[in-house]
Every structure is written in structure tokens, then in C-alpha cells.
Chain A
Amino acid sequence: MSDVSSNTMDALPAEFADLLSSEFRGQRRIVVPADRLIEVLKTLKEKLGYDLLADLTCVDYLTYRDAQHRFGLVYNLANTETNQRLIVRCFLDDPEPTVPSAVPLWAGANWLEREVWDLFGIRFAGHPDLRRVLLPEGFASHPLRKDYPLQGRGERHNLPVITRAEG
């Protein structure tokens, strides 16, 4: 694979030995339970130098074959010194999927978490300002969930009409 980087991280430190970890195409991923998430992220940031939160997103596994959980959060970390990457996964389930917010660790998580809330309906406990970011306030669904249809539920037609006479 010369197309894309393959920065494998060295062995994880001992305190994470119990975490599930896997590798695909040179990318290391670890799975963290929700209650240990912040602790692990904090160690990664402060002790292991993963100082950049490159991305934060979510996947809805509702229709995925053999999936055990409904949602999977993806924290995409990078180390700006060594250019290693690490993907931290955290799985959640209905109802009321909630995880603690990462904003105290990275200010950049603010909008990323708002986006996940907006599109997937996952709550981030302790987030300073958890409002919708892309969709209008008052939108009823979370559109990137798999049970929401691509064409929507008619929201896009539900607007007032202006004719020449009124305009």
C-alpha cells in the first residue's frame, strides 16, 4: 500500500492491555467501553502524544450484518510529532445513547460532537452547547440513522409558498 500511509503504532501500554484492538491496512483501532472513554482519551492525549483529534464521527450499525451494537463512535486521533494515527471506537446502544463529552480535552470536539448529535442523536454528557448544527432547530429526526429514508419524511416540502401576487 503506497497509496495511503501505514503508520502502525507500537504496542499499547500496559494499562490498555485489556482493550480489544485490531488492525486493518496498517491502521490500529482499539475499542473502549463508554465508561472508560474519557480516561483512555486523556491518557492517549497527555501521556502518549496523540494531541490532535483529527475527526470524530459515528456509524449506525442497524442493518449491518452480525452487528452487536447499534452505534459505533469513531475518534480519529493523530500524533503531530510522530504522525501516527490511532482510531478509538466506542459502541453504544439504544435507548438514549450517551457518552461523556471530549470537549474538556479538545476544544475542536465541540462542533464535531454537535454534528454527531444532530445526525445520529447521540448525547454527549457535559457538552457546553449541544444544539443541532446542520439541520434547522425543530427538525424531528436524526437523518443519518439507517431507519431514516434518503428522501426524508416530507420535511423538504413543508414550507410556505409565495406567488407573484404576494411577492
Chain B
Amino acid sequence: MPLSPLSPSAELAADRTQPYLWTMNFGPQHPAMHTTLRLVLTLDGETVIDAVPDIGYLHSGFEKLAEHLDYNQYVAVTDRMNYVSPLANNVAWHCAVEKLLGIETPRRCQYIRVIVAELSRITDHLLALGAMGLDTGAFTHFIYAYSAREDLYDIFEAICGARLTTSYTRVGGLKLDLSPTALQMIRDFLRRFPRTLEDMARLLHQNRIFVDRTRGIGVLSKEDAINLSCSGPVARASGVTRDLRRDEPYLAYGDFDFDVCCDRRGDCFARYLVRMDEMRESVKIVQQAIENLPAGPVNLGDQARSILPQKTAVYTTIEGLITHFELVMSNRGIKVPCEEVYAATEAPNGELGFYLVGDGGPRAYRARCRPPSFIHFAAFPHLIRGHTVSDVVAVLGSLNIIAAELDR
């Protein structure tokens, strides 16, 4: 006897052997699968009884690689981790390294790191929402989001010379200071961007199709969010008021005035709203940071013994050259304590932390990355049970799974 479409999923899950149930493979190469995710769905008609995610289609050995590259080199690999917001990964990585070393970066560096981290939060949310709109049939929304992203790419290019693979941070500082051009570009962007956000909101907020496809879909309760270790916008949309920027202030976040965006409903629409609001808050933070940008150096002086000297010093002074070689030669390098440390930042997707084990040498003995996408994707079967196949893409879009961060 086929089940009625409205029967609750809990009962269905009990008898999975019924002959009318069928299995559908979704991915790993499917447009809605955000690159390389794969799901094996058990269906009754079009109701999803169970979903078994299968991942690892992009497992490239990031953590093993970290054991073979030094603390400055590995930043280039963190770009490729969550490639939608590479700067946030750069910042997270070097915050962890600096915590292990016990050094504190100059104020200006901290402010600039906040600026780039918040800008990359905007790029990440733009892509997440654009793709979520795309998956639920709103192509125009995606084009709006993407054109704002192109503006941000121009800014990143002005800041560090690359659109996507930024590698901007260094131990104890940054690759480059913010140039006046870049500052002006950021100011212009901040002036234009609220308008874009309004346009995007007008396209989707009241869009009947979008709202119907996301409201009440994939509900995650507060208890489940904590039990499943969720963080970031996914947890905040379920009422967990946890934001590491406020709760464990790192960098200069203590200096800024911003709200933690939360919602109680925990469905896809709530996650969409939280991301929208967070972009507004990010704009606020960047504005404050730009206006109050402290003067001074962006790098710790080389007396700290673990900071790469300025390139001009390397080329013109013997001390600079020696320090440079001391730090980059494979048998020298930064001396870290034989200790272990965990440092987390609030990345666009959630808590992005690194657990670092130093063994005194120039390379990490172990660098574990706590990937938010991995943990959120693990919660996916819980969210989708009892909904229809078409909801799969809406829920996936709202979780914003980035495959490279998921599989590392």
C-alpha cells in the first residue's frame, strides 16, 4: 500500500524494505549538487524517506599537505579550502598560527584583517544566496548577486593581486598594506552595495515561488542544531545565539558595534534571512573599520624573529636578507613551541577553526581544520526526511556546502 504523501517520515523510516520504495542517486556531477556532493535518496513517490550523503569526491589531502609546508606557505593552500571566501580562511589560519606562537599583530593589521574577512563574508553569502535562488528557479537573482561579487573581486585584486587565490596574510602581518586605491574602491562599494541588497531582497522576499519552496522546509530545531554541532548562519537561524565574533572576540572585533543576526524558525527561509542580515551587518563593520583604520605598520617588526622581513629590506640590507633566508630555508624557519592550540574564527559558513600541533620545527606537526561544511552536511539527512525531492536542492542551497571545505 503506497503511503499517503502526508504521512510523517518517522513512521516511514521504520519499514524501508517495502517494494514501492525506490532509490535515487543524486550527483556527484549534478548542477544542484554544488560541485561534487552525492546523495543516495530513498523515495516513496517523491517523498524522501532517507538520504545517505556520500562525500570524498574532492578529498585532496589538505591536512596531510599542511604537515609538509611551512606556516607561511600553507596559506596558499587555505585559499583553496573554502574557495568562495578565501580571505576568511587566510585569516583563520594565521590567527591560529599566531596563537600558537603567542604573538599579537599590530592594530592596523587586525583592522585590515577584519575588513577583508567581512568583505569575504559578503562574497560568500552572495554566492550562497545566488545559488540558492538559482536552485529554486530564480536566475535573475543569481545575476544580481554575481555582479556584486565581480565588484568585490576587483577589490580583492586591488588589495592583493588575485581574484580568488589571495594568500593575503602572513605570520605576524599581511602581504601588503591596503593601498589608497583599494580603500577608495571599498568605500565606493559600500556606498553602492546596500542598493544591490535591496534589489536582491525585492526579488526574493515576497516571491511566491521562492517563499513557498523555502518556508517550513528543512526545519532544524535549536536542540538539534546544538546536538549536531552546527555553527554559523545555520545554527543562528535556529535560535542559537552564538557568534564567535562577539562571544570569543578575536582580532579587533571587540571594537565594533554590530548585531548578531538570529532567527527562530530554523527553516530554509530563516537561513536565507540570516544571511541577508549578516551582509548588512558586515557592511556596518567594514564601514566602522575603514573610518577608524589606525595608522602604523601592518607587520610586526622583525625583532619578533618569526616574521618575514619586508621585501625592500631583503633586497637592500644584509640583515634583511639573512632574516629572510633564516625563515624560508627548509631546515630553518619559524620556531614554534612544542604545544597544541585550537583557534577558531567565525567564517561565513560557521566556526572555522584550526587545531595546531607544533613540534618546534618550521612545519605544523598536525594541522586539523574544523570545517563547518562537513558538519552541516552531516545534518542534511535529518533536515530532508519527509520532504519532497524538489526540496533537496532548496535545503542544500540553504546550507551552502562548499565541497573543497567539506572534503579537504
Docked pose: A112 CA to B84 CA in angstroms: 23
Contact of A59 among B99, B252, B357, B378 (CB under 8 A): B357
Interface size on B, residues (CB 8 A): 60
In the bound complex, residues from chain B placing their C-beta under 8 Å from that of A143 are 61, 64
Tell me which of B96, B105, B229, B351 contacts A108 (CB under 8 A): B229
Interchain CB contact under 8 A, B248 and A52 = no
What is the CB-to-nearest-CB distance from A80 to chain B, in angstroms, rounded to a whole number?
A: 6
Question: Given contacts A3-B95, A4-B95, A135-B59, are A108 and B227 in contact (CB under 8 A)?
Answer: yes
Cross-chain contact B355 with A55 (CB below 8 angstroms): yes
Interface presence of B313 (CB below 8 A): no
A29 to B247, CA, bound (A): 20
A134 contacts B56, C-beta separation under 8 Å = yes
B102 interface neighbour in A25, A29, A74, A133, Cβ under 8 Å: A25
Cross-chain contact B56 with A135 (CB below 8 angstroms): yes
Indicate whether B353 reaches chain A with its CB closer than 8 angstroms.
Answer: yes
- Report which of B95, B340, B344 forms a contact with A54, defined as CB distance below 8 A: B344
Segment at the A interface, from B192-200, B322-330, B368-376: B368-376
Cross-chain contact B248 with A5 (CB below 8 angstroms): yes
Of residues 351 through 370 on chain B, the ones whose CB sits less than 8 Å from some CB of chain A are: 351, 353, 355, 357, 359-360, 365-366, 368, 370
Known: A5-B250, A24-B340, A150-B64. Is A133-B55 also a contact (CB below 8 A)?
yes
Which listed residue, B102, B355, B382, touches A1 by the CB 8 Å rule?
Answer: B102
B76-118 to A contact mask, C-beta < 8 Å, 1/0: 0000000000000000000110111010110000100000000
Q: How far is the CB of A60 from chain B (nearest CB, A)?
A: 7
The complex places the Cα of A109 from the Cα of B375 at a distance, in Å, of 9
- Decide if A80 touches B242 in the complex (CB within 8 Å): yes
A47 to B360, CA, bound (A): 38
Query: Is A157 in contact with chain B by the CB < 8 A criterion?
Result: no
A64 in contact with B342 (CB, 8 Å) = no
Given contacts A80-B226, A87-B342, A150-B61, contact A111 B368 (CB under 8 A): no
Within A34-87, the residues touching B (CB, 8 Å) are 51-55, 57, 59-60, 64-65, 74, 76, 80, 83, 85, 87
Instruction: Return the contact of B365 from the options A5, A64, A107 (Cβ within 8 A).
Output: A64
Question: Please, how many angstroms separate the alpha-carbon atoms of A1 and B343 in the complex?
Answer: 12
Q: Which residues of B contact A132 (CB under 8 A)?
A: 56
B259 within 8 A of A: no
CA of A27 to CA of B341, assembled, Å: 8
User: Min CB distance, B226 to chain A, in Å?
Assistant: 5
Question: Nearest-CB distance from B105 to chain A (Å)?
Answer: 7
Residues in chain A near residue B240, CB distance under 8 A: 80
Give CA–CA (A4, B103) in the complex, Å: 11
The answer to whether B355 touches A76 (Cβ under 8 A) is yes
**Known contacts A25-B341, A74-B355; A1 and B99 CB within 8 A of each other:** yes
What residues of chain B lie closer than 8 Å to A55, measured between beta carbons? 229, 342, 353, 355, 368, 370
The yes or no answer to A21 lying at the interface (CB within 8 A) is no
Chain B residue with minimal CB distance to A109? B229
Q: Within the complex, which residue of B65, B252, B342, B360 is in contact with A27, where a contact is CB–CB below 8 Å? A: B342
Would you call B351 and A134 a contact (CB within 8 A)? no
Which 3 residue pairs spanning A and B have beta carbons closest together? A5-B248, A108-B229, A134-B56
Question: What are 25 A-B contacts with C-beta separation under 8 Å?
Answer: A2-B249, A4-B96, A4-B98, A5-B249, A24-B339, A52-B229, A54-B344, A54-B370, A55-B370, A57-B370, A76-B353, A83-B248, A106-B227, A106-B228, A106-B229, A108-B229, A111-B374, A111-B375, A112-B375, A133-B56, A134-B55, A134-B56, A150-B61, A150-B64, A150-B65
Chain A residues with a Cβ under 8 A of chain B: 1-5, 7, 24-25, 27, 29, 51-55, 57, 59-60, 64-65, 74, 76, 80, 83, 85, 87, 106-112, 115, 119, 132-136, 143-144, 148, 150
Given contacts A76-B353, A112-B375, A115-B374, 18 further A-B contacts (CB under 8 A): A1-B99, A3-B98, A5-B248, A24-B339, A54-B344, A54-B351, A57-B355, A59-B357, A59-B365, A60-B366, A64-B365, A76-B342, A76-B370, A80-B226, A80-B242, A119-B63, A135-B56, A150-B68
